[in-house]
Structure 1
Amino acid sequence: MARLPLAVIAALASLGPAHAETELAPVEVTAGRDVASLGLDQASSSGSRTGVTARELPASIESVDSLTVQERGDYTIMDAITRAAGVSGVGSGGNGAMSFSTRGFTGTNSVGLAEDGMRLSTGSGTQNYPNDSWGYERIDVLRGPASVVYGSGTVGATINAVRKAPSRNASAEALFGIGSDGTGRIGLGGSGTLGEIASFRVDAYAHTTDGQRDLGNASGSKLMTTLRLQPNSDLRFELLADYSKQKPERYWGTPNDKGRIVSSLRDENYNVSDAIISYEDKRLRGRVEWQANDWLSLRDEVYYFEANRHWKNVEQYSLNAAAGTVDRSDYLEIRHNMDQTGNRLEAGIRSDRHRGVVGWEVAQVNFRHSNNSPYGGTSTVSAADPAHGTWSSPDPTLAKFDTRSTLQAFYAEDAWQFADKWLLLAGIRHDVADVSRHELVSGSDFAKTLHGNAWRLGLTYRLNPATSLYAQASAGHDPVTSIITMNLSNSKFTLTKGRQVETGVKQSLGNGRGEWTAALFRIDKDDIITRDPANPALSVQGGSQHSQGIELSAALTPWKNWRVEGNYAVLRARYDELLEAGGVDRAGKRPTDVPEQVANLWLHRLIGPVQASLGGRYVGKRYADNANSVTLPGYAVADAALAWKYDSQTTLRLIGRNLTDKVYATTSYGSQQFVLGQGRSVELVAELKF
């Protein structure tokens, strides 16, 4: 791919105004907003712990705020963040349905997930929290290696959900929705005061659906609470307590016919009638922030996270098109019981030219994995009208292993404003993971220590008050498998290494016409698992891959009462060195589940108290295997919303999703099954504010 020189970006940036307002006046919201923005002037807590704004940050970051989520009807974080540039979802029942692909890297070991900057460790490749978007002020995606801020497993990107904070201004909001396929949802939230120094925030949410497929019923609920104590302006305490229970759709994909989507099987589900997918999360956090003096602040956060997960399903399906049957196998039951206790201590140091932080993180993670390996059991059912039957396996479900992991990190960042228009952001981090595994049935116990170093160096030039140019180099690391659940064969491997170079522009247009950004990047990743050329039966480190691309994002107000939001990403991702079983060379092939084009577009028209919105998503073709022999076709999906602001407190919103009822695959589950996207649906939602 041809490289876009910095001079071209600078020339584009010079088209902007020489001046921009540093603070926007309050906007009276009608059915929607009347100013388009990418949030370039908000503090980028997800991109750096130094407090720089998104405009100052020499990296690509994008935010989806709560109002945008409501406008689009994106009530899950998966739906909301896959509207961001270059992000596509690859979630399935096996990875907690919270797995993503971006910048050529895919999955829970390359795209991290956090809440308020804090991550729950990934066990056995599963991420499932946070899931619902209710209760969050915004959802950010920091693209490229983010190990300096978030640690290992973030070479592709990190998604961070930022909670709504307590306020001493009393407020309340509610959401009630009802839709096709028996869908219903309710959200409640509010803030207020408790005495002279205390304030609170409570958010509750629940949803249910019968689903579009057989056995498609799903439900979930959560409670998020925050209590803030602020004795004076220099000292603040917070206590957060959350609970979540999810029972997602028990669906593992639809078998394909030699790599072809079989549209007639779209509504079928080949699982058993008593299948189970259940996720339960409990979270307790305490925070304290103290402004010791003009130049020093201290912050400490202690937490306890607990996750309990249960799967009991038939997961593998093979279509016999000639016979009209589906062969089922892998009668699988798995349980995860995980708890994580940790602390993060941080000091912020400020001067006229510097905004710096130094910190230490430590976490203790206990994980128990139970399963019924080797997952015996088989059956054959009709492809068109399956008799689901019940789950039965000759293999008992037993606790197979325990792990105990101690994770530590030391980090430092500094934003140095060394001249009026120049900012240098530098960061470094060292991670240490001590993992011990105790085999409860068979095999050998072992202990392993992993070390990872990460750094970034970025330069931002403020061409004028509205326009910033930036360039950065960064390095991070990913595990070859989930760190806290590595097995004996994986314990001989070290962390993979990722390196990125990126340059771009961020600009506000004059007269409130909007904002736009562009980024050009290349990421190289080394030490991925490959096969020994001398003995292809042995797995070794030494493989490599790369991706390079361009991302464009814009939020524009071209005419009064019109607003346009869109983004486009194009990349080229390839393996540079990869041998698979039998010594088969995959160099030059594209990694699985990686689209090379992703685009999103929303058009909003405000007519008095009514806002009409039309949106479109495009995801290019992907492959289900490293041989690139099984293709997931590209797809385009159209959505729409019609909002009526009845009065200052009430908005009614009609939402239509997948208007053309497109049959498409979001990801693969092995090479024989495609996870199909949802068909056409309609929902009516009432939004109330008090």
Structure 2
Amino acid sequence: MTRKPAFDGNHLDALLSYGSFDTLSAGGGVNYQLSDTLALRADASYLHSDSLYDVDNNETRSSGLTASLLFQPTADLSVLLAVDHYSDLSDSAYQGAVLIPLAFARDPARAVSTANGMVIDKVTRRRNYTPHGGYSGADDTTLRSRIDLKLGAGWSLGTDLLWYTADRAFVNNGTRTFIAPSLGFPNGSIQRVLTRFYHDHAFWNVRMALANEGRIAGLRNRFTIGAEYNHTDLSSLRETSTGTLVPQVDPFDPAVGTFPMDGTQYRASNVNFDSRLRTASIFGENALNLTGKLLLVGGIRYDHMDLDRASTDYLITPNPVTRANPRYDPISWRVGSSYAVMPGLTLYGQYTTAVSPVSSILLMPLANTRFKLTKGFSYEAGFKLLAFDKRLTATGAAYRIVQDDIITRDPNDPTLTVQGGRQSSQGVELSLDAAISDTLSLGGSVSYADARYDELIEAGGIDRSGNRPVNVPSTTAAANVAYTLPGVPVTLSGFVRHVSGFYTDTANTILVKGRTTFDAAVSWKIDDQVILALRGRNLTDAFYGEYSGYGSNDIYVGAPRSVEVSLATHF
């Protein structure tokens, strides 16, 4: 997001870094105060890397340019205008390592446990099976404005305007499957399905909110009422090849070939989805101080959602167009409270309801438009503690989230897809930061989540109830320490992070095991304006899976050990 201009004079920030995998990044920003009422902020960023994952044929680059202008002629009026533009491009986009049978692996890793003996082979760690010419990238631009006007007597009006456009392309592998050794492939082979997905996306939004701060029966009260309207257009061409038309490759020494541009290659599916979504909303929020320590908050929102979906099939002549026009009118609300037990210690609790479509609303299969929105609720309770002259900060929370009416199969007829499934998650989170002294600081966090499908039946009548959702670990933990050497402007930092295992399939037969990684840094404050730093990541060179990709057999392997040197300045 664009950084907001400030009326604190002119200053310049810059960052330059270089590290492993020939990764260069640079960024800079300037705040320029044109007058007492007008300020400008502009930032630029650039990144180039042979591969952020250290993968073959995976050159990555990105750039960004943001600017904003703040006009504040009086204490009652503020006008912000901003523009953001970002671009990114990755050649032969990495789709993860492919699981292969243990019997054919040369150097099997212990990062995955499967019910059928499939493993990640370390020899394929850097292999990329996407043909040359494949890529993924995006160009997006956002224009926005924010107008804040104080009307007097505690009243204020806020207006947000936004326009967004994006072009995205995903020209890469879809699914990859290991095929047992054959006459032409004595090491086995990887069968590839190629995809070409394109997005032409436009979105605009207007939001107005009227707020008041005053008193009700002598009690401090703040409330907001508002309305919002947005309009989205998305055209998405989605082409998929058949595996038989794409040459298989050796898993250890792949001759990946060139990405086919001929449209006749994409015969498994070739469909264009056009989506137009119009949403009109009204909302209200209120916060009432019942006492000096007890705060009650609440909010409600109504949305009218009008979706037009059209699907054009280019595999059939003449090209048939299928349409759907579902409409939704959900109401969601929340209520909560906080209580200041003593100075520095606050307890809070809240209950929230929400709705969402059964899948991404703009890319929803036409068959799914007949379903109603899924409903959910969550409740949470926690605390925040500031102690020892704010040198100790601790936060904690316990929560439960439930989503009803997810897609499942009819228990009486598994050939029918229906709503009625349920998934839930409950857990706890705790974080702690402590400034032990002026030179030593410690921090840490831990979270546990018990996520599961409470009710889910899949094709064939297979019951997945009780299983954990895909890519959801149960436990994460992190700790950090920073120590500044006495009398020397040098700070030593260390970081450790643990993530427990997760499954890549709803059957919970493929487990990506947990990992623990260690990072460290040394920073030298040359003066008040310049800091030089050296960072090392994954110092033990742990081999681990981060998450699964297109299919359950595709595992994104985390980046190996890397180093980076950076120079940060502020003038």
Contact 2:5 2:39 in 1 (8 A): no
Partner of 1:680: 561
For normalisation by structure 2, the TM-score amounts to 0.90
Inter-CA distance 674–398: structure 2 relative to 1 (3 Å threshold) = closer
* AA matched with 2:231: Q
CA distance in 1, matches of 2:383, 2:191: 52
Structure 1 residue 375 displacement after superposition: 5.2
Aligned match for 1:440, one of 290, 308, 312: 312
Aligned match for 1:494, one of 357, 367, 372: 372
CA distance in 1, matches of 2:358, 2:455: 16
Query: What SS does structure 2 have at the residue aligned with 1:382?
Result: coil
Structure 1 residue 498 displacement after superposition: 1.4
Structure 1 residue 513 displacement after superposition: 2.4
Partner of 2:430: 552
Unaligned runs of 5+ in 2: 101-116, 314-319
CA distance in 1, matches of 2:464, 2:173: 31
CA distance in 2, matches of 1:336, 1:511: 52
**How do residues 475-624 of structure 1 correspond to structure 2 at under 5 angstroms?**
475-607=353-485, 608-624=488-504
Percent of residue pairs identical: 32
Partner of 1:402: 274
Query: What SS does structure 1 have at the residue aligned with 2:21?
Result: coil
Deviations 1:51-101 (A, max 9, x none): xxxxxxxxxxxxxxxxxxxxxxxxxxxxxxxxxxxxxxxxxxxxxxxxxxx
Deviations 1:665-684 (A, max 9, x none): 11112111101111111110
**How do residues 79-94 of structure 1 correspond to structure 2 at under 5 angstroms?**
none
Structure 1 residue 511 displacement after superposition: 3.0
* AA matched with 1:461: Y
Structure 1 residue 261 displacement after superposition: 2.4
Structure 1 residue 315 displacement after superposition: 2.8
Partner of 2:197: 334
Partner of 1:391: 259
Query: What SS does structure 2 have at the residue aligned with 1:337?
Result: strand
Partner of 2:108: none
Which protein, 1 or 2, shows the higher relative CO under an 8 Å CA cutoff with sep ≥ 6?
A: 1
Structure 1 residue 615 displacement after superposition: 0.5
Contact 2:7 2:36 in 1 (8 A): no
Structure 1 residue 312 displacement after superposition: 1.3
Structure 1 residue 497 displacement after superposition: 1.3
Aligned match for 2:250, one of 377, 382, 387: 382
Aligned match for 1:271, one of 130, 133, 158: 130
* AA matched with 2:359: T
The alignment's C-alpha RMSD in Å is 1.7
CA distance in 1, matches of 2:456, 2:234: 32
Partner of 2:159: 300
Contact 2:190 2:251 in 1 (8 A): no
Inter-CA distance 671–398: structure 2 relative to 1 (3 Å threshold) = closer
Aligned match for 2:121, one of 251, 255, 262: 262
Partner of 1:643: 523
Contact 2:79 2:148 in 1 (8 A): yes
Query: What SS does structure 1 have at the residue aligned with 2:372?
Result: coil
1:238 aligns with 2:80: yes
Structure 1 residue 500 displacement after superposition: 1.1
Structure 1 residue 426 displacement after superposition: 0.5
**How do residues 116-265 of structure 1 correspond to structure 2 at under 5 angstroms?**
163-211=3-51, 212-248=54-90, 250-257=93-100, 258-265=117-124
Larger CA Rg, structure 1 vs 2: 2
Contact 2:350 2:381 in 1 (8 A): yes
Inter-CA distance 230–470: structure 2 relative to 1 (3 Å threshold) = same
Unaligned runs of 5+ in 1: 1-114, 116-134, 136-162
Contact 1:280 1:307 in 2 (8 A): yes
Structure 1 residue 277 displacement after superposition: 0.6
Structure 1 residue 306 displacement after superposition: 0.4
CA distance in 1, matches of 2:70, 2:4: 12
Deviations 1:561-599 (A, max 9, x none): 111121100121111111000011111111111111011
Contact 1:507 1:516 in 2 (8 A): yes
Inter-CA distance 302–375: structure 2 relative to 1 (3 Å threshold) = farther
CA distance in 2, matches of 1:387, 1:422: 67
For normalisation by structure 1, the TM-score amounts to 0.75
Structure 1 residue 236 displacement after superposition: 1.0
Query: What SS does structure 2 have at the residue aligned with 1:420?
Result: coil
Partner of 2:169: 310
CA distance in 2, matches of 1:305, 1:551: 35
Contact 1:478 1:496 in 2 (8 A): yes
Contact 2:171 2:197 in 1 (8 A): yes
Worse-matched range after superposition: 313-322 or 237-246: 313-322
Query: What SS does structure 1 have at the residue aligned with 2:362?
Result: helix
Query: What SS does structure 2 have at the residue aligned with 1:444?
Result: strand
Partner of 2:329: 451
Query: What SS does structure 1 have at the residue aligned with 2:389?
Result: helix
Deviations 1:606-638 (A, max 9, x none): 113111111111110100111111111111111
1:418 aligns with 2:290: yes
Structure 1 residue 289 displacement after superposition: 0.8
Structure 1 residue 514 displacement after superposition: 1.7
* AA matched with 1:184: L
Deviations 1:377-433 (A, max 9, x none): 322112111112111263459771311110222111111111011001111111221
Aligned length: 530
Structure 1 residue 320 displacement after superposition: 4.1
Query: What SS does structure 2 have at the residue aligned with 1:175?
Result: strand
Aligned match for 1:655, one of 520, 529, 535: 535
CA distance in 2, matches of 1:359, 1:345: 5
Structure 1 residue 177 displacement after superposition: 0.6
Partner of 2:236: 369
CA distance in 1, matches of 2:382, 2:133: 52
